[in-house]
């Protein structure tokens, strides 16, 4: 059998990337942290696009940057696999299903406010429990093989849980690198050469400069009177200044669209609930908000502009910084630092598995049983995630029906 690293160097096709990410875009419920588990299962375990160490490096890079971490990770994976067109294919395929659902969700949302609708949403949360747990076990086995790295992972997870703020993720990754240098001197992971970044350092600098220039323009355009231009500026500012992932962008978006009166607070909260009920990235809420903006700025054009503007800064940054990341990874101490970073990433995933994935989904013994069966199916078989989705949702709805039929 060929080694995973060899697979990681092989080039793929745009169609392959699009197909893989369309499947993920249709089935990746549970938010940005859950997406790491879905990506790992589909692209690393099943398709073997790269090894676990390289995957951990990309996660660490995306955690450092502002923007939607899971979408940045997907964009980078598509880029590494099939170049510019692969990156665009990954972004479109992963984002389009949720964007289309959210554009039309405003009319469908009232139908999901009943008891059965809430049972369906709860079943989707249980899917996230199973998927994240399976990804966590797999990554822990491979990225924390010794006591020092296991302790780094445990400390990272504890720090994130105790601190309770998003920027702790950045601190944890940085501390992971420092602790790796101190305690992982015998680490032998390959660094810097396990995937092709496909971009020169000069081109990377240009992309970062474009990001900065667009941010300056967006900051200067806060009072511009051109409708779509003001929408683009507001959403670009939000996407460029958010650290910590999808949920952290919501206060920025509220300030961008509720404060000026573009959208009512009730509509904004409805969009937030809808974004959690559909697969794909939470940043797809931009499609809902853009479509609902009043004053001639909404509709399909508003949805498209808002969606692109919110995602663009993070996507520019992740590709622009890849060459620098590769250069850093080739330094003598890189193996030790990256071993610590990868261990810290395991801790991050463990913390996120506890809160919000576990705490928001497992609220009764029946929830634990449903999620445990789903986890066992994922861990012991090659069952499709779609089957797990059907199981969790079906079991959640069936549990509600039985409760209604039970005698008082």
Buried b (16+ CB within 10 A) or exposed e, 323-356: bebbebbeeeebbbbbbbbbbbbbbbbbbbbeeb
| Structure confidence by residue, pLDDT tens digits, 274-315 | 777 788 998 998 998 988 887 445 688 889 999 999 999 999
Neighbours of 48 (CB within 10 A): 17
pLDDT value, residue 104: 84
pLDDT value, residue 275: 79
| Structure confidence by residue, pLDDT tens digits, 250-264 | 767 888 888 888 887
The CA-based dihedral angle spanning residues 383, 389, 394, 400, taken in that order and rounded to the nearest 10 degrees: 140
Q: What is the pTM of this model?
A: 0.72
Q: Where are the domains positioned within the chain?
A: 11-95+115-196+328-405, 201-318
């Amino acid at each position: 059998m060929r080694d995973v690293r060899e697979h990681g160097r092989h080039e793929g096709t745009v169609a392959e990337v699009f197909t893989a990410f369309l499947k993920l875009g249709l089935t990746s419920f549970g938010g940005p942290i859950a997406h790491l588990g879905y990506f790992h299962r589909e692209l690393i375990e099943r398709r073997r696009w790269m090894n676990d160490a390289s995957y951990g490096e990309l996660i660490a890079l995306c955690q450092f940057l502002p923007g939607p971490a899971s979408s940045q990770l997907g964009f980078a994976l598509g880029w590494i696999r099939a170049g510019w067109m692969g990156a665009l294919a990954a972004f479109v395929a992963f984002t389009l299903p949720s964007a289309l659902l959210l554009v039309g969700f405003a009319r469908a949302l009232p139908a999901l406010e009943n008891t059965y609708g809430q049972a369906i949403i709860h079943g989707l949360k249980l899917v996230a429990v199973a998927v994240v747990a399976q990804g966590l076990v797999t990554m822990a086995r491979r990225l924390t093989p010794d006591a020092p790295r296991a302790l780094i992972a445990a400390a990272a997870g504890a720090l994130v849980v105790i601190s309770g703020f998003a920027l702790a993720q950045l601190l944890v990754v940085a501390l992971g690198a420092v602790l790796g240098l101190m305690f992982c001197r015998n680490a032998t992971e390959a660094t810097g050469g396990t995937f092709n970044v496909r971009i020169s350092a000069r081109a990377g600098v240009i992309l970062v400069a474009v990001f900065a220039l667009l941010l300056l323009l967006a900051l200067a355009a806060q009072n511009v009177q051109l409708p779509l231009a003001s929408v683009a500026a507001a959403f670009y500012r939000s996407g460029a200044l958010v650290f910590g992932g999808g949920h952290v962008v919501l206060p920025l978006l509220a300030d961008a669209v509720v404060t000026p009166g573009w959208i009512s607070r009730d509509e904004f909260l409805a969009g937030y609930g809808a974004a959690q009920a559909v697969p794909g990235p939470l940043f797809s809420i931009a499609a809902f908000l853009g479509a609902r903006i009043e004053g001639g700025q909404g509709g399909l054009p508003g949805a498209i502009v808002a969606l692109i503007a919110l995602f663009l800064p993070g996507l520019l940054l992740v590709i622009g910084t890849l060459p620098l990341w590769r250069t850093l990874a080739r330094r003598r101490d890189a193996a030790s630092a990256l071993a610590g970073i990868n261990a810290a990433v395991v801790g991050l995933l463990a913390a996120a598995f506890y809160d919000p994935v576990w705490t928001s989904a497992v609220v009764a013994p029946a929830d634990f049983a449903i999620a445990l069966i789903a986890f066992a199916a994922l861990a012991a078989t090659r069952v499709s995630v779609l089957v797990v989705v059907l199981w969790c949702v079906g079991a959640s709805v069936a549990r509600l029906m039985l409760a209604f039929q039970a005698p008082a």
